[in-house]
Amino acid sequence: MRKVYAILGFTLLVLILIQFFRPEKNLGDIDTHDDFIQVSQVPDTLARIFLNSCYDCHSNYTKYPWYASIAPVSWYLNKHIVEGKAHLNFSSWGIIDKAKKISLLDNICEECSDGVMPLKSYLLIHHHAALSPQEIAAICEWAEKEAMEIMKSE
């Protein structure tokens, strides 16, 4: 029995200690002149979809749930945000070159259509972020038109 108490005590101590090692939160500017919604003049209905389903991991501002301050969950969330922003950061859309924007617009449609985005793990807690077939179709239709506009402006 002493061994069980020792293991539980050690586990509790480790859980307490790791709370002091937190990643930096992703709390940059919400509205910037380089933001995707501003630069691309995304229609309001689509802007709400992107803000609701994509921006937590793919922008410089994340709305953190209460449990995001608890390690190791905070580390897990930070890893997803860092990876998400590495692939696509909507907050820096204005400084991305035209060819990359066209590629990213295609990827946005493809990832949503294939059910890859939003991540299943994100949807477990954020049910409101799930995309309906109609929303995916609207995103893809708009992304295709936007890519054509970018090509015309070259």
pLDDT of residue 154: 62
Angle (CA) 19 20 21, round 5° = 90
pLDDT of residue 1: 82
Task: Tell me the average pLDDT across 102-110.
Answer: 97
What does each C-alpha distance from 4 to 9, 11, 31 come to in angstroms?
8, 10, 52
User: Left, alpha or beta for 17 (phi > 0: left; psi -120 to 50: alpha)?
Assistant: alpha
Task: Name the maximum alpha-carbon separation found in the chain.
Answer: 74
Report pLDDT digits (tens) over 59-99: 999 999 888 899 999 999 999 999 999 999 999 999 999 99
Report pLDDT digits (tens) over 2-27: 888 888 888 888 888 888 888 888 88
Residue 32 has pLDDT above 80, yes or no: no
pLDDT tier, 33 (very low <50, low <70, confident <90, very high otherwise)? confident
Name beta bridge partners: 61. Answer: 27
Q: Give the pair of three-digit tokens for residue 21.
A: 């090692």
Choice among 29-43, 66-80, 90-104, 111-125 with the minimum mean pLDDT: 29-43
Stated pTM of the model:
0.86
pLDDT of residue 41: 87
